[in-house]
């Protein structure tokens, strides 16, 4: 009995020791990532969450607030207005963006001449322009004094619309964002299209399918996972909308208010009004909304989408 026990125990001990060494090496290997992850993501998040549990007024000291900041956030007209704006923006922008990028990818996939390569590069180019530069450029294009719109409309004797006015800003921004991102999404879809086995097309043609049918019945269903992926990217990006409105703000005649989008609101709360605690709560609330939105979406598409 004692022998058996020893025999049983000793190999086990050996294994534990080796395992431990294994796992220690494993930890070392993920350490480079782990350090960056902890220092730049986990710690700031934890600290921001900690901050969001306190409140500090200009006239008062810091006090523990519990979830009060979150209650305030979800009853704050500024925050809710911003959320409503980005949700509306997503609902219109994402379909437009996907349609444009999908159409471009399908066309480019069908062409094989030199023009296709040039066009691919040109469509992708806006993504290579930094968002800030792109927004500045559009700011000039929209300008009533310097932009081309004034001349174009003037030729027909009409007044050009100011695309950054409160009534038009929605479309003005949509144009900038679509211009910026459609090329990137096009590349993702295009790459997925290139990954499809061409023999499938041959089989379809033998079966009598025309180009339209190949595109609609074969290509699109087969890049569905790429479409889901860009949808998630676009959803997260749009809900966190910040750069373009922030850059266009100074030339928008005040249309871009300090609470225009939730992210801009959090930024202004923290860095202009010194309300770091409430800004943290706003950021976490936005994070929660993004998480819920993306989760609902992934849940709804879970059967067909193989990505994520």
Partner 1 sequence: MKNKALIAGLSAVAIVASLAACSGDDGGGSNDAKPTNCTNKIVNADAPVVSVWAWYPNMATVVDNFNNSHDDVQVCWTVAGQGADEYAKLQTAVSAGKGAPDVVMLETDQLVGFEIQKALVDISDLGADDVKDNFAEGSWGDVSQGDAVYAVPIDGGPMAMIYRKDIFEQYNITPPTTWEEYEAAAQTVKDAGGPWFGNLGSNVPAALTALFQQNGAVPFDYDLADPQKISINLDTPEVKQVMDYWAGLTEKGLIGTEDQFTTDYIAGVVGGKYATYVSAAWAPGYLTGAGVGQGDDAGLFAVAPLPQWDVDNPVSVNWGGSALAVTTQANDKELAAEVAVGLYADEPSLTDGWKTQTIFPLNKDVLTSDEFVNNQVEFFGGQTANKDIYIPAADAYEGTNYSPFSVYYYAQLQAQLVKIAAGDVGGSQAATDLQDIIVKYATEQGFTVE
* Binding stretches for partner 1 (CB under 8 A): 21, 24-25, 28-29, 31-32, 35-36, 39, 57-60, 143-146, 165-167, 250-255, 257-258, 268, 270-274, 276
Alpha-helix residue ranges (DSSP H) falling in the chain? 2-37, 43-52, 68-73, 77-110, 114-128, 131-142, 148-155, 169-194, 198-206, 211-213, 220-222, 224-239, 243-248, 262-271, 276-300
Asked if 57 and 72 touch (Cβ cutoff 8 Å), the reply is no
What is the rounded distance in angstroms from the CA atom of residue 120 to the CA atom of residue 190? Answer: 9
What is the nearest approach in angstroms of partner 1 to the Cβ of residue 14?
A: 15
With respect to partner 1, which residue has the nearer C-beta, 57 or 130? 57
With respect to partner 1, which residue has the nearer C-beta, 40 or 115? 40
What is the nearest approach in angstroms of partner 1 to the Cβ of residue 185?
A: 32
Separation in Å, CA 72 to CA 80, 204, 218, 276 = 11, 58, 50, 14
Q: Which two tokens stand for residue 183?
A: 């090329």
Count CB atoms within 10 A of the CB of residue 114: 8
What is the rounded distance in angstroms from the CA atom of residue 195 to the CA atom of residue 184? Answer: 17
Angle at Cα 203 formed by Cα 202 and Cα 205, nearest 5°? 65
What is the nearest approach in angstroms of partner 1 to the Cβ of residue 172?
A: 15
β partners of residue 62: 56
With respect to partner 1, which residue has the nearer C-beta, 237 or 249? 249
Q: Which two tokens stand for residue 299?
A: 């849940």
What is the nearest approach in angstroms of partner 1 to the Cβ of residue 305?
A: 34
With respect to partner 1, which residue has the nearer C-beta, 85 or 181? 85
Count CB atoms within 10 A of the CB of residue 268: 18
What is the nearest approach in angstroms of partner 1 to the Cβ of residue 271?
A: 5
With respect to partner 1, which residue has the nearer C-beta, 38 or 203? 38
Asked if 270 and 247 touch (Cβ cutoff 8 Å), the reply is no
With respect to partner 1, which residue has the nearer C-beta, 39 or 128? 39
With respect to partner 1, which residue has the nearer C-beta, 19 or 167? 167
Asked if 248 and 256 touch (Cβ cutoff 8 Å), the reply is yes
What is the rounded distance in angstroms from the CA atom of residue 10 to the CA atom of residue 3? Answer: 11
Q: Which two tokens stand for residue 82?
A: 């911003």
β partners of residue 56: 62
With respect to partner 1, which residue has the nearer C-beta, 261 or 268? 268
What is the nearest approach in angstroms of partner 1 to the Cβ of residue 292?
A: 27
What is the nearest approach in angstroms of partner 1 to the Cβ of residue 273?
A: 5
- Nearest C-alpha neighbor of 303 from the set 225, 219, 188: 225
* Residue 275, phi then psi, degrees to nearest 5: -105, 70
What is the nearest approach in angstroms of partner 1 to the Cβ of residue 12?
A: 21
């Amino acid at each position: 009995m004692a022998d058996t026990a020893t025999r049983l125990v000793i190999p086990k001990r050996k294994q534990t020791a080796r395992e431990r060494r294994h796992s220690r090496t494993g930890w070392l290997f993920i350490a480079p990532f782990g350090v960056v992850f902890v220092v730049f993501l986990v710690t700031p998040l934890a600290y921001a969450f900690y901050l969001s549990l306190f409140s500090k007024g200009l006239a008062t000291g810091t006090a523990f607030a519990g979830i009060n900041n979150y209650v305030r956030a979800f009853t704050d007209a500024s925050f809710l207005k911003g959320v409503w704006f980005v949700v509306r923006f997503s609902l219109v922008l994402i379909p437009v963006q996907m349609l444009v990028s999908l159409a471009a990818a399908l066309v480019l996939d069908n062409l094989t001449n030199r023009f296709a390569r040039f066009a691919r590069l040109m469509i992708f180019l806006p993504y290579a322009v930094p968002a800030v530069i792109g927004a500045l450029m559009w700011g000039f294009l929209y300008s009533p004094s310097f932009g081309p719109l004034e001349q174009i409309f003037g030729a027909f004797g009409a007044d050009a619309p100011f695309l950054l006015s409160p009534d038009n800003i929605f479309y003005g921004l949509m144009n900038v964002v679509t211009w910026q991102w459609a090329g990137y999404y096009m590349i993702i879809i295009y790459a997925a299209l290139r990954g499809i086995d061409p023999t499938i097309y041959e089989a379809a043609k033998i079966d009598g399918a025309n180009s339209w049918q190949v595109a609609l019945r074969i290509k699109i269903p087969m890049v569905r996972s790429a479409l889901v992926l860009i949808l998630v990217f676009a959803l997260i990006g749009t809900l966190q909308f910040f750069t373009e409105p922030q850059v266009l703000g100074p030339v928008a005649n005040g249309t871009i208010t300090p609470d225009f989008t939730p992210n801009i609101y959090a930024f202004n709360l923290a860095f202009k009004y010194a309300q770091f605690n409430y800004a943290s709560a706003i950021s976490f609330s936005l994070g929660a909304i993004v998480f819920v939105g993306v989760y609902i979406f992934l849940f709804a598409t879970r059967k067909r989408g193989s990505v994520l």
